[in-house]
C-alpha cells in the first residue's frame, strides 16, 4: 500500500530540479488554498481530488486510493513534501491553476493542472464514484435507489410539438423535463414567495407511487402540488441495473424565494452545478423559453466572477427578447473585462441607442 501511495504522489508531484522560491505574502495563497478541489481538465495520470488542510497536510486522491503529504505556500510557490515545487498561476475562492517548476524545460512542455473548488467531501466522492446509492430497504426487501446520474428512469414527452413521442434517456433531460412539467402544472403564483420539498417513487413497473410533501411553506398549495406530480404518472419508463428493473426515489425542491440562502456565503463554486445550469439554459433557448434561460444563466453568473460564457448567452437571450438595455449592460461589462467580441457587439448594437 505504501508503494501505491508513493506512485500516486509521483504521478501528481513529479519533478526534476529545484528553482528559487519567491516570497509574496500579499497574495494570501496560504489561506485561499485551504479546502477541497476537484480536477477540471481531464488527465488520467493526475489526481482526481486534492484536499488542503489547515495543518499543512494535503490529501491526494487518485481512483480508489488516497495518500497524504505535507505542503507549504511561499508567495506564489507551492512546496509539496521537501523538494517538489509548483508555480501557482491562479488561486481564487473557486479556481486553482498551477504548473510544474522544472529546470531546463520549455514552458510549453510543462504540465498544467486545473482544479475547481468543491463542497464535496472525500467520503462523498468515493460514494459517488464507487458505491451504488442504495437509499433504503422496503418491507418486502426491495432496494430503493436515489435518483442520480447513475440510476434513473426514462421519461416520455407529453408535448404536442416536435418533441411529441420523444423518450428522454439522459439524467439531465429526465430531471429537466419531469421537474419543468411538475412546476408548470403547479403554477405557483409568480409574485408569491414559498418553498416546497417533495418525494415520490417510480417503481420497477414504471408506476408513480409514495407521493409525499416533505416540506411546505403554505399547506393550502399541497393538493395542487400533488396533482401536478400526478400529471407525470403515465410518462415514466422504469430504471434498471444490469437489466433488472429497480425502484427509484425522487426528491425535488421548488423554491420561490428571491432571497439567497443566508447560510450560503457564495464562497464556493461547484463546477458540476454550474455546467448543469448552463446546459439547462441552452436547452431552454432551443425551446425558445428565453425567460427561463435568462434565469438559469443568471444563476451561473452569480456563482463566479468570470462567467463569461453565461454572460454572452444571457445577453443574446435579452437581445432576442428585444430587451436591448440589459443585453448592452452585459456586453459592456464583458468589454470592461477585455472581451473584444463583446466590445464589438456593444459598438454595433448599443452606441446609437
Residue 204: what pLDDT? 93
Is there a domain that residue 113 lies in? yes
Q: Are strands 95-100 and 84-91 parallel, antiparallel or unpaired?
A: antiparallel
In a domain, 266, yes or no: no
Mean of per-residue pLDDT scores for the chain = 79
- State the Cα–Cα distance between residues 307 and 311, nearest whole angstrom: 6
User: Which range of residues forms the domain containing residue 238?
Assistant: 132-255
Which pLDDT tens digit goes with each residue over 26-74?
467 878 878 777 776 544 446 678 889 888 888 888 766 677 888 999 8
145 in any annotated domain: yes
Domain assignment present for 263: no
> Rounded to the nearest 10 degrees, what angle do helices 308-320 and 271-286 cross at?
20
CB 342 within 8 A of CB 326: no
Helix axes 222-230, 171-186, angle to 10 degrees: 130
Q: Are residues 279 and 331 in the same domain?
A: yes
Q: Is the pLDDT of residue 189 over 50?
A: yes
10, 69: one domain? yes
Residue 338 lies in a domain: yes
Among residues 94, 110, 126, the one where a domain terminates is 126
CA–CA gap between residue 8 and residue 49 (Å, rounded): 12
Please write the tens of the pLDDT for every residue from 73-130.
988 999 988 778 888 988 888 888 888 888 777 766 777 788 888 887 776 776 556 5
Q: Which residue has the higher pLDDT, 228 or 140?
A: 228
Residue reference for cell 486545473: 114
Q: Kindly state whether residues 121 and 190 are assigned to the same domain.
A: no
| Domain boundary residue, one of 126, 154, 171 | 126
Examine residue 265 and state whether it is found in any structural domain, yes or no: no
Same domain, 144 and 245: yes
CATH of the domain at 281: 1.25.40.10
How far apart, in whole angstroms, are the C-alpha atoms of residue 105 and residue 121? 36
Model-level pTM greater than 0.85?
no
Structure confidence by residue, pLDDT tens digits, 240-282:
988 889 999 998 888 877 544 434 434 455 677 788 788 888 8
Compute the distance between CA of residue 212 and CA of residue 249 in angstroms, rounded to an integer. Answer: 11
Question: What is the pLDDT averaged over residues 222-248?
Answer: 93
User: Domain total for the chain?
Assistant: 3
Pairing of strands 244-255, 143-146: parallel
| 327 domain-assigned | yes
In a domain, 264, yes or no: no
User: What is the C-alpha separation between 299 and 301, in angstroms, rounded?
Assistant: 5
Question: Residue 232 belongs to a domain with what CATH number?
Answer: 3.30.1150
Amino acid at each position: 500500500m505504501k508503494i501505491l501511495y508513493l506512485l500516486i504522489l509521483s504521478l501528481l508531484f513529479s519533478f526534476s530540479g529545484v528553482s528559487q522560491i519567491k516570497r509574496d505574502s500579499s497574495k494570501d495563497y496560504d489561506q485561499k488554498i485551504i479546502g477541497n478541489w476537484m480536477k477540471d481538465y481531464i488527465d488520467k495520470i493526475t489526481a482526481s481530488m486534492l484536499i488542503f488542510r489547515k495543518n499543512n497536510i494535503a490529501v491526494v486522491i487518485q481512483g480508489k486510493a488516497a495518500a497524504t503529504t505535507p505542503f507549504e505556500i511561499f508567495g506564489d510557490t507551492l512546496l509539496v513534501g521537501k523538494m517538489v515545487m509548483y508555480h501557482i498561476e491562479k488561486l481564487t475562492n473557486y479556481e486553482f491553476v498551477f504548473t510544474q517548476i522544472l529546470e531546463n524545460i520549455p514552458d510549453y512542455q510543462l504540465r498544467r493542472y486545473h482544479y475547481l473548488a468543491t463542497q464535496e467531501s472525500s467520503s462523498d466522492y468515493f460514494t459517488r464514484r464507487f458505491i451504488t446509492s442504495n437509499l433504503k430497504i422496503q418491507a418486502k426487501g426491495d432496494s430503493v435507489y436515489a435518483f442520480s446520474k447513475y440510476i434513473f428512469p426514462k421519461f416520455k414527452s407529453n408535448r404536442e410539438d416536435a418533441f411529441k413521442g420523444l423518450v428522454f434517456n439522459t439524467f439531465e433531460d429526465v430531471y429537466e423535463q419531469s421537474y419543468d412539467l411538475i412546476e408548470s402544472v403547479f403554477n405557483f403564483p409568480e409574485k408569491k414567495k414559498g418553498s416546497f420539498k417533495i418525494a415520490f417513487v417510480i417503481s420497477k413497473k414504471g408506476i408513480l407511487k409514495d407521493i409525499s410533501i416533505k416540506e411546505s411553506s403554505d399547506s393550502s398549495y399541497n393538493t395542487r402540488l400533488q396533482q401536478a406530480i400526478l400529471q407525470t404518472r403515465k410518462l415514466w419508463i422504469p430504471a434498471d441495473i444490469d437489466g433488472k428493473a429497480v425502484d427509484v426515489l425522487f426528491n425535488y425542491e421548488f423554491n420561490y424565494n428571491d432571497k439567497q440562502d443566508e447560510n450560503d456565503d457564495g464562497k464556493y463554486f461547484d463546477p458540476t452545478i454550474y455546467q448543469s445550469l448552463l446546459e439547462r439554459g441552452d436547452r431552454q433557448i432551443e425551446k425558445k423559453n428565453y425567460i427561463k434561460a435568462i434565469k438559469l444563466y443568471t444563476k451561473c453568473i452569480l456563482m463566479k466572477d468570470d462567467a463569461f460564457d453565461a454572460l454572452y448567452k444571457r445577453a443574446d437571450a435579452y437581445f432576442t427578447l428585444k430587451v436591448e438595455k440589459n443585453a448592452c449592460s452585459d456586453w459592456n461589462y464583458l468589454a470592461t473585462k477585455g472581451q473584444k467580441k463583446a466590445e464589438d457587439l456593444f459598438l454595433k448594437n448599443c452606441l446609437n441607442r
